[in-house]
Every structure is written in structure tokens, then in C-alpha cells.
Amino acid sequence: MTRAAPVADPLAAMAGADGTAPGVLRVDAPEVQRLGDALAFTWPGLGVSLTFDQLRESHEGPLGEIAVSSAILGELHWSRLNLASAPAREGLVRKLEKILPADPWRAMLDRACRAVAVAMREGEPVVALSPVRAADSRHLVPRFLIQGETNLIFGDGGSGKSLLAETLAAAVAVGAPLACGLTPTATCPALILDWETCRDEHEDRLAGIAAGFGCPRISGLFYRRMARAVADEAAVLRREIARLGVGLVVVDSLGPACGAEPESADAAIRSMNALRSFGPVTRLVVAHVSKLAAEQRSGPAKPYGSVYVQNLARNVWEVRRAEEESEDLVLGAFHRKVNRGRLLPPVGLRFEFGEGAIRLRSQDVGEQADLLARTSVAYRIQKVLTAGALDVATLAEEAGAGKDTVKRTLRRLADKGRVIRVDETRWGLKR
């Protein structure tokens, strides 16, 4: 099969053209650098750079801020510019010619403005789809972080979700192995966007995590204190992500990141779209639950707000803290949604605090009655059967489910080869 040639990048095509209009001074093609939404055009031979930022479309045409700098003189000019306005460009050319009259300002400015306008309007290219299987593992951290997608962990306040998120981010930044097979598959810089607390608290927490890892220090983990909605900050964040080479962004937490009316569909969609605009980086979003969901004793909950919060995330885990009195933080993580593959079994985790260190350990969810009550009936049945074969009535009582539900679940588990009928009344695990 012959594959069609890819469409050229319009920015590169415009910036790299080697000819100009008749009567206009010719100028070499510039070097072009993208930094988030900002675009910088540099002519090394002339020592001149034009940088465009805060770009947006308006009823007047494409607008942006332009900064002109010289390798020798430094910044020469900064202002807002209508890129498509010939009079506006001509006025800027006259000003620059008074500073450095020998440089071909008109040719450079016309070429750069045209290239920026084309890039703003082009968006993502249309590509042909091919029947190619995705890689077996697309996880940055097995189970919890699907690479390049929006992942969501949600739970009540104090459930340990923020601590878990920062531990995952720190592990990704240094490649540290974690309990329960949560070892990162790759190492990359991570950025924490914080709407809830402060830098001091994060650094104190990070000191404990680093001690638990056995690392003297953790590099590659960045922090930004947030106040405005993520949609309003998206352009600045895209630039920082590009500048730092960030591969994982943690949003803590989604409610304040949505801004006004966080429960509305509009706020959820705008926020999730803003996160998607970050490009092929992995996103980990921390979210809360409603008061009613926080108080329910069993079964799955949903994140607070619009259904789009869960619908637009690709991988969703609910986090619940065990009710036991303990110096440690024991929690269960329950897989509530995934768009590719099947739901995974619950994960039990224990954060141990001691001697200035925070250590993450594995924990059997079945040892905590309140956490076990939040698992599926199938999981509870298999957990009960680890002690030996039982009849349906006893299974129903110990698994906390009705007899008819247990019977249906046993048939499904038998079809999957996980349980077998031991005799006329009892069922057991298939060894």
C-alpha cells in the first residue's frame, strides 16, 4: 500500500521560503523555535530575533505581542501587533529602521507575521488512519498513568489522593520503584499545579518521599502555585511545559482548577480541553467527591461535578481511606473506568510515616472490611473462597450480597475459569 506524503508544516514552509516579492530585499530563512504557543524567529547572520506571544484571533484579525531583540543591543521593541495589518507592520518597520537601518526589517517582519498567522489557523493536521496495533504497554506508571492521556484519581478529603499523586510524580521524575508494581516505565520531568496548598507543604512532603525512596534529593519535579482557572492559564502553562520538557502534569485539584461553577458541564469541558491542549504529555487530575458520595458505605462513587469529568478522562481510579485507627495511611484504589482494556482489580496501599520518611507499601484490600465492601461482588466472592470451598448461602452472607446475585456471579466466574463447583452445594477457586 502506498502511503500519501505528509502535509508540510505550514510554519516551516512559510518561514523557510527562500524568495520574496519583487522589489523586496531578500533575506535568508530564519531559525524557528516553538515554546508552547510562543514562536521565535531568529536570523543568526543578523543577530536579530522576532518573538510572538499571547496570540489570538479577533474580529480585527490575528493579534499578538511581538518582542524584537538584537544579539548586541538587547531588546529593541515590545508591543501588541495586528499581524495582518499592513499599516501596523509598516509603522513598526519605520521604528526599527531608525534603530538599526541596515537590517531588512520589512522582509523579516512580513515573512514572520505571515508564518505565524498561517500556524495559528492551521491547527492539528489531518492524517490518514492505518490499522496498526498500539503498543502492549502505554503506561507511564502501570495501572495508574496511561501515557499521553488524562488520568483521574478522586476521593474524599483526607483520603491520601494528593499524597499518592505527588509520590507518583516524584517516582516518575527519578525513576524510583514503588510498591504494587507501580514502577515507572520511563523517567521525565513532572510539574505539579497546585490550587490547594503552598510550596512549603509540598517541599516538606517531598522531603519525606525522597527519604522513603532513599534519594538524597529529587530533581526534575517542578511546582507552580495556581489561583486562576486552568483554561485561563493554558497558554502560559503550555510554554512552561515546553521549556522544561515536562512529561507529566499533576492537577491538584480539579474543582478550583475549573474556576466558577465547577459542577457545570461547561466548566468541566473547558478544563479538560485545556489539559488536552498541553499536547502528548501525561495528565494526572486529582478530584473530590460530593458530600453524599463521601458518606456512602459501599459501592462505587463518582467524581464531583459534571459527568464530563469522568467521561473525558481515559483512566479513572477512586481512592478511599480505611477507617481503621492507625499511624499509617491505609487506602484502597478502585478502578472505575478505562477506555481500552478491562477494569483492573483493586489496589491496596499503605503509607508508612516514620523517622522523617514516607514509604509506600502494598496492602491487602481484603483485610479492611470497609474497603472490601467497595469492591465488586466477583472480587469479594473470590476473596472469601481463598479460605476454602463454601455453599451459596454462606458465600452470600460473607460476601455481603444476595443469593441470586452470588449465583449469577459464580456462573460468570466459572465461564471464565476462575471458580469450579466442588460438589452439589459448594464452590471453590480453580487452582
SS3 of 189-257:
CEEEEECCCCHHHHHHHHHHHHHHHCCCCCCCEEEEECCCCHHHHHHHHHHHHHHHCCCEEEEECHHHH
Q: Are residues 354 and 225 in the same domain?
A: yes
Q: Are residues 315 and 226 in the same domain?
A: yes
Q: 81 in helix, strand or coil? A: strand
Statement: residue 274 has pLDDT above 70: yes
Amino acid, single-letter form, for residue 276: R
Statement: residue 23 has pLDDT above 50: no
Q: Are residues 24 and 59 in the same domain?
A: yes
| Residue 384, CA atoms < 13 Å, CB-side half-sphere | 27
pLDDT (0 to 100) of residue 400: 87
Q: Are residues 362 and 419 in the same domain?
A: no
Domain CATH for 319:
3.40.50.300
Report, in angstroms and rounded to the nearest whole number, the Rg of the chain calculated over CA atoms.
28
CA distance 140 to 287: 20
- Model-level pTM? 0.84
CA distance 406 to 379: 11
Whether 22 is in a domain gets the answer yes
Dihedrals phi, psi of 192, to nearest 5 degrees: -100, 125
Q: Are residues 352 and 404 in the same domain?
A: no
Locate 254 and state its grid cell.
480539579
CA distance 313 to 203: 28
115 closest CA partner among 140, 90, 84: 84
Statement: residue 7 has pLDDT above 50: no
- Other C-beta atoms closer than 10 Å to the C-beta of 204 total 10
Whether 342 is in a domain gets the answer yes
The average pLDDT across 314-332 equals: 91
- Other C-beta atoms closer than 10 Å to the C-beta of 384 total 21
For residues 67 and 102, the model is more confident at 67
Cα 354–355–359 angle (5° rounding)? 45
Whether 242 is in a domain gets the answer yes
pLDDT (0 to 100) of residue 67: 97
Angle between helices 403-415 and 392-399 (to 10 degrees): 100
Q: Are residues 224 and 285 in the same domain?
A: yes
Q: Are residues 274 and 343 in the same domain?
A: yes
Statement: residue 316 has pLDDT above 90: yes
Q: Are residues 77 and 145 in the same domain?
A: no
- As beta bridge partners, residue 30 has none
Q: Band the pLDDT of 22: cuts 50, 70, 90.
A: very low
419 closest CA partner among 368, 381, 393, 365: 381
Name the average pLDDT for the chain: 90
Condensed to tens digits (0 to 9), the pLDDT of residues 68-99 reads: 999 999 999 999 999 999 999 999 999 999 99
Q: Are residues 354 and 231 in the same domain?
A: yes
Whether 3 is in a domain gets the answer no
Helical H segments across 339-388, by residue range: 369-372, 377-385
Structural domain ending residue among the three candidates 372, 396, 417: 372
Q: Band the pLDDT of 19: cuts 50, 70, 90.
A: very low
Condensed to tens digits (0 to 9), the pLDDT of residues 210-266 reads: 999 998 788 999 999 999 999 999 999 999 999 999 999 999 999 999 999 999 999
CA distance 390 to 169: 43
Locate 65 and state its grid cell.
505581542
Locate 377 and state its grid cell.
461482588
Condensed to tens digits (0 to 9), the pLDDT of residues 285-307 reads: 999 998 888 877 777 889 999 99
For residues 19 and 391, the model is more confident at 391
pLDDT (0 to 100) of residue 307: 95
Dihedrals phi, psi of 57, to nearest 5 degrees: -90, 140
Domain CATH for 411:
1.10.10.10
Structural domain ending residue among the three candidates 328, 349, 372: 372
Expressed as residue numbers, the domain containing 417 is: 377-429
Whether 129 is in a domain gets the answer no
Whether 361 is in a domain gets the answer yes
Q: Are residues 360 and 383 in the same domain?
A: no
Locate 274 and state its grid cell.
485545556
Structural domain ending residue among the three candidates 122, 148, 183: 122
246-to-151, 280, 281 alpha-carbon distances in Å: 16, 10, 7
Total domain count for the chain? 3
Whether 134 is in a domain gets the answer no
- The region of weakest confidence among 138-152, 165-179, 227-241, 290-304 is 290-304
The average pLDDT across 322-327 equals: 82
CA distance 18 to 420: 75
Q: Band the pLDDT of 314: cuts 50, 70, 90.
A: very high
Whether 407 is in a domain gets the answer yes
Q: Are residues 388 and 295 in the same domain?
A: no
Locate 176 and state its grid cell.
524510583
Locate 113 and state its grid cell.
507575521
ω into 306 cis (within 30 of 0): no
- Residue reference for cell 522582509: 107
Which phi-psi region, left, alpha or beta, contains residue 366 (left: φ > 0; alpha: ψ -120 to 50)?
alpha
pLDDT (0 to 100) of residue 357: 95
Locate 10 and state its grid cell.
505550514
pLDDT (0 to 100) of residue 20: 45
Statement: residue 1 has pLDDT above 60: no
Statement: residue 430 has pLDDT above 50: yes
Q: Band the pLDDT of 140: cuts 50, 70, 90.
A: very high
Q: Are residues 159 and 274 in the same domain?
A: yes
Q: Band the pLDDT of 14: cuts 50, 70, 90.
A: very low
pLDDT (0 to 100) of residue 367: 85
Residue 77 is inside which H or E element, if any? strand 74-82
52 closest CA partner among 245, 273, 239, 240: 239
